[in-house]
Amino acid sequence: MKPWLLFLFIIIVFLFCTKKDQTESKIEKITTDYQTVKIKPFPIAVQCWTFRKFTFFETLQKVKDLGIKYLEAYPGQALSNELPDVRLDHNLSDDQLQLVKNKLNEMGITLVNYGVVDLGRDEASMSKVFDFAKKMGITTIMAEPEFDDFPLVEKLVQQYDIKVAVHNHPQPSRYALPDTVLKYVKNLDHRIGSCADTGHWLRSGVVPVEALRLLKGRILSTHLKDLNEFGVGEAYDVPFGQGVANIHDILAELTLQDYQGYLVVEHENEAEAMDPSPSILKGLEYIKSITSLEEK
């Protein structure tokens, strides 16, 4: 080979490798043998968006029928057929809040999370959300704050002792990539972290287990989903264990991290919106089948 051709070849290889280094994700590649992990049992909750075609009160009955005792509410769901103009959110009156509490008690269901909610941009609007959470006994708020708002969010988290989990909607959402979430929460109060939405990570081209490893120590909640395919496209939710999310390894990684939060079921398959329960039950059976009997 002529010297000038060899030199040109070396330059091309150097440029290619440099570009590859710049575009590779910061996410640590998987080396753990997850098949040897004894997956611990996690408390299961349901995100009310799963039953978005129904009222909040109807959702409570459907969640109870699933045998689940924990709930994550979202702002905007109709409260009941008797009050069709009333929406469940942080603007409810004290009387309406009491009505919700009474219904929760009647059903034996605990409201643990709230979101994804727009916190607003000032202390007054954010405090309204935190006040609602405090009154309802909610422990974690799911939100996607503006980048500049974390000092105020941290102040309120410390004041109310209520956690804020940053949710990841898919691209082009500001928090679609776990690297971005970590960048903004890693130096904040430990009660500010990630609401790990496995389905939206898949839609953004992110492998959920790798994202969980990156966010180790900062995962406060999950929106657990399994999809039929990876990446942007016509992906839809399927029962846990039947898709590409690798639910087994997700739960194994959460076990290794001693994750203390809920597995929040959020089944968004639009074709099943009127009756998502059969798919949820199939998914729960799969989770049960991979959970260590020694730890039950």
Check if the beta carbon of residue 254 is closer than 8 Å to that of residue 264.
Answer: no
Domain count, the chain: 1
Check if the beta carbon of residue 156 is closer than 8 Å to that of residue 125.
Answer: no
First-residue to last-residue Cα distance in the chain: 67
42 band by pLDDT with thresholds 50, 70 and 90: very high
* pLDDT tens per residue across span 96-154: 999 999 999 999 999 999 999 999 999 999 999 999 999 999 999 999 999 999 999 99
Check if the beta carbon of residue 89 is closer than 8 Å to that of residue 133.
Answer: no
Of residues 215, 194, 295, 201, the one with CA closest to residue 245:
201
Predicted local distance difference test score (pLDDT) of residue 12: 47
Predicted local distance difference test score (pLDDT) of residue 98: 98
Residue at 201 is within a domain: yes
Residue at 44 is within a domain: no
Residue at 194 is within a domain: yes
Residues above pLDDT 90, as percent of the chain: 85
Residue at 258 is within a domain: yes
CATH number of residue 257's parent domain: 3.20.20.150
CA angle 64-263-138, nearest 5°? Answer: 70
pLDDT reading at 234 higher than 90: no
Predicted local distance difference test score (pLDDT) of residue 15: 43
Residue at 91 is within a domain: no
Residue at 277 is within a domain: yes
16 band by pLDDT with thresholds 50, 70 and 90: very low
Residue at 2 is within a domain: no
Q: Which residues pair with 88 in a beta bridge?
A: 77
Q: What is the β-pairing status of strands 110-117 and 87-88?
A: unpaired
Element (H, E) at 229: none
Predicted local distance difference test score (pLDDT) of residue 18: 38
Single-letter amino acid code for the residue at 54 = F
* pLDDT tens per residue across span 62-73: 999 999 999 999
Check if the beta carbon of residue 280 is closer than 8 Å to that of residue 66.
Answer: yes
Residue at 53 is within a domain: no
3-class DSSP state for residue 110?
strand
Residue 154 structural domain: 32-39+111-295
pLDDT reading at 246 higher than 70: yes
